[in-house]
Amino acid sequence: MRYCLLAALLSVLAASTAGAEVLASVDEAVLTWEQLVAMVGGEENSRYLAVGSTAEAEEMLRSWVREELVVRAAQSDNLESRPEVANAINQAIRQILLEAYLGEMTADVSLSRLTVENYVTAWRESFLTDIHARHILLPDLAQAQAALARLQSGESFDVLAQELSICPSASQGGDLGWLSRGQAVLAFEEAAFSLSPGSTSGIVQTGMGYHIIKLLETRPRTPVPTDEQIFQLAGDELLMDAQETAIMAVLDSLETLHSVSVYPERLLERVGR
C-alpha cells in the first residue's frame, strides 16, 4: 500500500529531532516517529497504520523519501515563486490556520445527555419522517421580506424561486428533493419539519442566508432508525449547531477589531450579472 505522507509539511513540524530515533533520511532532512505520528493526525490515528511486515514498513518510509526528493527538486527549480504555486501554498496555510483556530474555539462545546434526550422527545416524529420541500434562499432580510410578501399576494413559489433564489436549486424552482433529518442545518430542519404539506414557512435565518420553505409532501423514513440512531443523529445536529453558534460569536467579535468592507456590486459586475 502506498502512503502519502506529504513531505512538504515537514517544515511545519520543525521541532528538534535531537535524540529522536530516525526512521528515514534524505540529506539533512529526517523522519522520526514523532513526526510521522503528527503527519497522520496523532497517536490515535497511528494505531491504524497498516505496517505488518518489514516490506510494508520499507514501502511506507520510501514513500516519504520519494516525496522528500520531489519536494527538494521543486524547491531547487524555485517552483514556490510561481504565482499559481505560491497561491496554492498560501491557501493551504490559510485553511490549516482556519481549522486549527476554529477547532480551539469549539473544543469546549459540549451537550449533556439530558439535553439530547429532551430534544429527541420533542422532535422524535421528525426523525421518522422524510420531507419533500422547496425553498427560496436570499442573502439579506429585506429581500426575504419582499419575497415573502410576493408569495403572500399569490405569486407562484417555484417561479419566484427561479427568479430570486441564490441557491443552485433555483433552476428547479427551489426543489430540494427528499430530505431526512441530519441533511440540513438545524434551524432549517426545525422549520421545514414543522410544516404541513402545502404550507409555507416564514423567514428562516441560517448561516447561509434567509430561507422561505414550502413543504410539498412527507413519507415514512426507511429504513426506520433505531432509538440509538435517533439519539446519535439528534446529538450530532445539536452539537454542530452549538459549534456554529460559538463560531459565529467569535467571528462577530473578531469583526469588531478590524476595519471590514465588502463590495458585492463589484463582484456582481465582474461575473456579469
Q: Are residues 150 and 197 in the same domain?
A: yes
Residue 22 φ/ψ, nearest 5 degrees: -90, 130
179 near 133, Cβ under 8 Å?
A: yes
Q: Are residues 73 and 11 in the same domain?
A: yes
State the total domains in the chain. Answer: 3
Question: Rounded mean pLDDT of the chain?
Answer: 90
Does residue 166 sit within a domain? yes
Does residue 236 sit within a domain? no
Does residue 244 sit within a domain? no
Length of the chain: 273
Can you give the CATH number for the domain in which 200 is found? 3.10.50.40
The pLDDT value recorded for residue 56 is: 85
Residue 216 φ/ψ, nearest 5 degrees: -90, -50
The sheet carrying 175-179 orders its strands as: 175-179, 129-138, 209-220, 200-206
Does residue 65 sit within a domain? yes
Q: Are residues 67 and 133 in the same domain?
A: no
Does residue 210 sit within a domain? yes
Q: Are residues 130 and 197 in the same domain?
A: yes
Picking from 242, 262, 269, the residue whose alpha carbon sits closest to that of residue 139 is 262
> Within 47-155, where are the H helices?
54-76, 83-106, 113-123, 141-152
User: Which domain covers residue 58, as residue numbers?
Assistant: 7-77
Residues 273, 268: Cα–Cα separation, whole Å: 5
Q: Does residue 223 have a cis bond before it (omega within 30 degrees)? A: yes
Which one-letter amino acid corresponds to residue 116?
V
Cα R_g (the chain), whole angstroms: 25
Q: Are residues 97 and 139 in the same domain?
A: no
pLDDT in tens, the chain (273 residues): 334 334 444 444 444 455 678 999 999 989 998 888 888 777 776 776 767 788 888 888 999 999 999 999 999 999 999 999 999 999 999 999 999 999 999 999 999 999 999 999 999 999 999 999 999 999 999 999 999 999 999 999 999 999 999 999 999 999 999 999 999 999 999 999 999 999 999 999 999 999 999 999 999 999 999 999 999 999 999 999 999 999 999 999 999 999 999 998 898 888 875
Does residue 142 sit within a domain? yes
> What is the pTM (predicted TM-score) of this model?
0.72
Does residue 207 sit within a domain? yes
Q: Are residues 94 and 35 in the same domain?
A: no
Does residue 181 sit within a domain? yes
The pLDDT value recorded for residue 57 is: 85
Q: What is each CA distance from 12 to 24, 30, 97, 145, in whole angstroms?
A: 18, 13, 12, 49
* Count of CA atoms in the C-beta half-sphere (13 A) of 24: 20
Residues in a beta bridge with 175? 134
